[in-house]
């Protein structure tokens, strides 16, 4: 696929599936926005492999992709990944951890505890934070740890937003230590179960806030316009969880969506806050990644 068509395809994927990120991308320098869209398209395609076909076929396709990335065999996505790796120095260990997370979705998803939740969120989204560092040419090790946390925060928000939708795919990401419920219970909860779910949502989004705070602290490692774009992406996505919070963590079937006027307001507030924030980079809280000892720092 020629470069112009490849970029158009990436931009369309971002606009169609990642509306919050597409909104924030317009605030990045154009070259970074283009590469970010390509990264998003790659990650989205990997995710779709798991979601759009039977698990046995998805496992075979992901194995083919891994083999192609190792130079053995062919997969159409591999060439796009290799090209992106060549242009931004993509952290391939992070990409493979992302594939690990997608493969986890092909199993019977019943997360056990908070550590399992954080590990899953790292695999499917903290890794994307690391690869975005590659796109943005950020190699400071502490900045990359903050980027992992921002990715984890966004995934926790995602999980809070999509509890009902995920239950329909026989997946329960809320830890068993928080809710001893099966996906069928999440689809049609009793009043007592509804209370359990809402308490778990509160716990989940409170945890997400800790990771957002760390992600925000890492913004000081970024240069001007790049800092603004990432700050807006974080703030707009964070608004999903804050909307759920303002509703009292009420659990229902309707997916929370942040309307454009709200995105504009959140973006404006973010820009104003950044203009008055001249702080020094904060140290990273290692406790946030204690569950990742065996996996994350190998990627960073």
Q: What is the pLDDT of residues 57-72, one digit of tens each?
A: 999 999 999 999 999 9
pLDDT in the model for residue 283: 87
300: pLDDT confidence band, cut at 50, 70 and 90?
low
DSSP letters of 187-248? Answer: HS--HHHHHHHHHHHHHHHHHHHHHHHHHHHGGGGS-HHHHHHHHHHHHHHHHHHHHHHHTT
The answer to whether 69 touches 165, Cβ cutoff 8 Å, is: no
Q: What number is the average pLDDT over the span 123-149?
A: 96
CB-based contacts of 77: which residues, under 8 Å, 6+ apart? 42, 45, 46, 65, 68
Q: Is the pLDDT of residue 299 over 70?
A: no
Which among 130, 72, 58, 51 has a CA at the least distance from the CA of 96? 130
pLDDT of residue 6: 55
Answer whether 233's CB lies under 8 Å from 245's CB: no
Q: What's the mean per-residue pLDDT of the chain? A: 90
Confidence of residue 15 (pLDDT cuts 50, 70, 90): low
pLDDT over 90 for what percent of the chain? Answer: 75
What is the per-residue pLDDT across 205-218, written as a single tens digit (0 to 9) for each?
A: 999 999 999 999 99
**What are 157-171's pLDDT values in tens digits?**
999 999 999 999 999
Which tens digits make up the pLDDT trace of 32-43? 888 999 999 999
All structural domains of the chain with their residue ranges: 91-298
d(CA 177, CA 4): 49
Cα three-residue angle 288-212-81, rounded to 5 degrees: 85
pLDDT of 24 above 80: no
pLDDT at 196 over 70: yes
Inform me whether the pLDDT recorded for 89 exceeds 90.
Answer: yes
What is the pLDDT confidence band of residue 90, given thresholds at 50, 70 and 90?
A: very high
Higher pLDDT, 253 or 56: 56
Topology of domain 91-298 in CATH is: Farnesyl Diphosphate Synthase (1.10.600)
| Whole-number pLDDT of residue 298 | 45
How far is 2 from 179, CA to CA, in rounded Å? 49
What are the two backbone dihedrals, phi and then psi, of residue 222, each rounded to the nearest 5 degrees?
Answer: -100, 145
């Amino acid at each position: 696929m020629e470069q112009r068509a490849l970029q158009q395809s990436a931009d369309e994927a971002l606009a169609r599936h990642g509306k919050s990120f597409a909104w924030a991308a317009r605030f990045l320098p154009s070259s970074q926005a283009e590469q970010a869209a390509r990264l998003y398209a790659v990650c989205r395609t990997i995710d779709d492999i798991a979601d759009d076909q039977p698990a046995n076929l998805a496992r075979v396709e992901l194995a083919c992709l891994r083999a192609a990335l190792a130079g053995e065999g062919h997969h159409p996505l591999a060439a796009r990944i290799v090209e992106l790796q060549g242009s931004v120095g993509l952290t391939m260990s992070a990409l493979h951890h992302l594939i690990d997370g997608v493969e986890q979705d092909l199993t019977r998803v019943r997360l056990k505890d908070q550590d399992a939740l954080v590990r899953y969120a790292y695999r499917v989204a903290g890794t994307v934070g690391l690869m975005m560092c590659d796109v943005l040419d950020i190699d400071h090790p502490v900045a990359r740890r903050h980027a992992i946390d921002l990715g984890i925060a966004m995934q926790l928000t995602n999980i809070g937003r999509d509890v009902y939708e995920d239950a329909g795919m026989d997946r329960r990401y809320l830890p068993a230590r928080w809710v001893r419920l099966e996906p069928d219970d999440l689809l049609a909860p009793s009043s007592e179960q509804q209370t359990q779910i809402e308490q778990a949502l509160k716990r989940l989004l409170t945890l997400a806030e800790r990771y957002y705070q760390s992600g925000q602290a890492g913004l000081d490692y970024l240069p001007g316009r790049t800092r603004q774009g990432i700050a807006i992406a974080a703030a707009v996505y964070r608004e999903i969880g804050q909307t759920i919070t303002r509703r009292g963590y009420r659990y229902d079937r309707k997916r929370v969506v942040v309307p454009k006027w709200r995105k504009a307001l959140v973006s404006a507030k973010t820009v104003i806050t950044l203009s008055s924030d001249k702080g020094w980079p904060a140290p990273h809280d290692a406790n946030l990644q204690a569950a990742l000892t065996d996996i994350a720092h190998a990627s960073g």
